[in-house]
Amino acid sequence: MTSFLPLPAGTPFPLENLPYGVFSTDGRSARVGVAVGDLVLDLAALEAAGVLVPADGRAGAVFDRPSLNAFMALGRATWREVRARLQDLLSADGDPALRGDADLRGRALAPQSRVRMLLPAEIGDYTDFYASRQHATNVGAMFRGRDNALMPNWLHLPVGYHGRASSVVVSGTPVRRPLGQTRPVEAEPPVFGPTLELDFELELGVLLGPGNAQGESIAVAEADQHIFGYVLVNDWSARDIQRWEYVPLGPFLAKNFATTISPWVVPTDALEPFRVSGEMQDASAGNPAPLPYLRQPEPRALGIVLEVAVETEAMRAAGAAPAVVCRTNARNLYWSFAQQIAHHTVNGCNLRPGDLLASGTISGDADESFGSMLELSWRGERPVSVGGGETRSFLADGDRVIVRGWAEGEGFRVGFGEAEGLVLPAGREP
């Protein structure tokens, strides 16, 4: 698709993408925008000018707001209508309402470098899954051995746990090293202090739209209709704290201190061209068939390249580029987001606009495709080179972790931007 705007070659934000975000500028409050090339298109300005009006007017003005929640609540038919309208307004031969109005362009377009990106949604609830088979196998093998790597339930349901929404932060927010209990020597009592095994987790997330009423469920065939869009996720983890605390109820302080997401939400429709078949969930691949409420026809996976880069303080001082330490693909998820939603709601749990679901760490078969330092360094036994003679078993203070993602089309790229965070030293102990 060709825009009347001079988009940079190879931009991750062409007209085929148009991801949504929330931004602010000097003297103006937060509102909804769309990334196009290296610009932000102010949807509140278009709404005020009357050139962008969703047909469903129940929510009134939906873009002059500090979150996407009101827009997400309107459902996929409205999302598609708005997306088509934006592509028409931005195309070289489309409606000239924006192209031919210099005053409106001046008010509605701003360089991304001059805006501040904010959390895109008011996230009421956050659920983290464990949906990558290779990741679950790797972690299980470390702690239980290869023959007992997967727990008995893993191939039958999407394993997940509820996280803490209040500590979900937007890309660029520093993350302080957490404090907690660990037991470094198994035969001795626990000790208190900063984690020594701070880790990243390379994940993909979805922000939800309409959702369901309590007591009802969302069928797997309908689940994609509730996904507003996708974000990059780094679900930071303190491995030594988790190892001591997780029995019997799972992670707590090891995970609730911070979760970083990208500011741009890539619409579901922008990713439809990148649907691919996932791992077969039946006897032909030696796997048990899911129960009927979880059965989903192919293609149910997404071909999205995902990578993590680490920039150390020494690299920053030398002006060296961050080192890519892993690269994987979202197609490595065994359980799809539709299956996760169906399982999440089958007991009548209600999902609401703005809820965040994350995939869990995504790992592939090759060592370099492992999506966490725990796996890359194999519990710290094989330190990972980050260039310049430096290695890491886990993250150090001053390290900046950058998550990136994109899907390649024919002559265009649909990108997510970045989800990045700088590791700060631990705070003062109480």
Active site amino acids: 135
Residues shown for the chain: 430
Pairing, β 175-176 against β 413-424: parallel
Contact 407, 232 (CB under 8 A): no
d(CA 247, CA 94): 59
Q: How far is CA 381 from CA 74, 241, 254, 333, 392, in A?
A: 50, 18, 21, 26, 10
Contacts of 380 (CB under 8 A, 6+ apart): 197, 393, 394
d(CA 283, CA 289): 7
d(CA 128, CA 114): 33
Contacts of 404 (CB under 8 A, 6+ apart): 232, 306, 307, 308, 309, 415, 416, 417, 418
d(CA 170, CA 13): 19
Instruction: Name residue, tokens 């609540």.
Output: 73
Instruction: Name residue, tokens 């007591």.
Output: 215
Q: CA geometry: angle at 222 spanning 220 and 226, to 5°? A: 110
Instruction: Name residue, tokens 């080192």.
Output: 323
Pick from 330, 331, 332: which is nearest to 405 by CA?
330
d(CA 370, CA 372): 6
